Structure 1
């Protein structure tokens, strides 16, 4: 049935040992990946639970002038965003900070031009 295998017991034992070693390596890698996926899923749950309702995105300069206001879960918000409450977001929009055109926080907050 398996004519491509070596005909002697010694070489078959070597092949079996080699395959066992590879299976152990594969099992270890799979276990590590599963653990990483579980950790990432837990971290994502924590991140989603802590997502603020509103974000203000700041510029690169030292004065950190606000560039835009976003809804808390907006995917367009940059890394230089800080969570704020609704009153702070409204004041920023009223003060001339741009509303994100993707998530439209001004509409969500009930601010009309």
Structure 2
């Protein structure tokens, strides 16, 4: 049997729970997009608010698309990160894509790990 699933029941139950949660997220997104298509003159989110991804599980914080790490201990200068970057530390402040672009243009450093400038800034 060509199978990449674990053989034991506890791990299979964990995968089942994850798959169920993920399927619920997908169905919720489908419903939201269908609702948006029915009402094209309305938007789901205000443009001033930063966009956030849904939580990965119960009682988990939502992940912003972009974040700002202020200069401080361990961070020599203000840095811009993707919201899911592993190198953000615990002080990531959620920001909009527009603010992230403005901060990068004003001299904020782009993270070397997640490279937000590759997505946010126009290519020369």
Q: Provide structure 2 residue ranges, at least 5 long, that are not aligned to the other structure.
A: 1-56
CA RMSD of aligned residues (A): 2.8
> Of residues 91, 107, 110 in structure 1, which corresponds to 2:121?
110
Equivalent residue pairs, number: 69
Q: Which has the higher contact order (CA 8 A, sep 6+)?
A: 1
Say whether 1:54 aligns with 2:66: yes
Would you say 1:100 and 2:111 are equivalent positions?
yes
The equivalent of 1:89 in structure 2 is: 100
Deviation at 1:111, TM superposition (A): 3.6
TM-score, length basis structure 2: 0.47
Distance 2:88 2:113 in 1: 10
Q: CA deviation at 1:60?
A: 2.5
Structure with the greater alpha carbon radius of gyration: 1
Extract unaligned runs of 5+ from structure 1. Answer: 1-40
TM-score, normalisation: structure 1: 0.51
Residue 58 of structure 2 corresponds to 42
Structure 1 SS opposite 2:114: coil
The Cα shift of 1:79 comes to 1.4
Residue 88 of structure 2 is matched in structure 1 by: 77
Query: Which has more helix, going by share of residues?
Result: 1
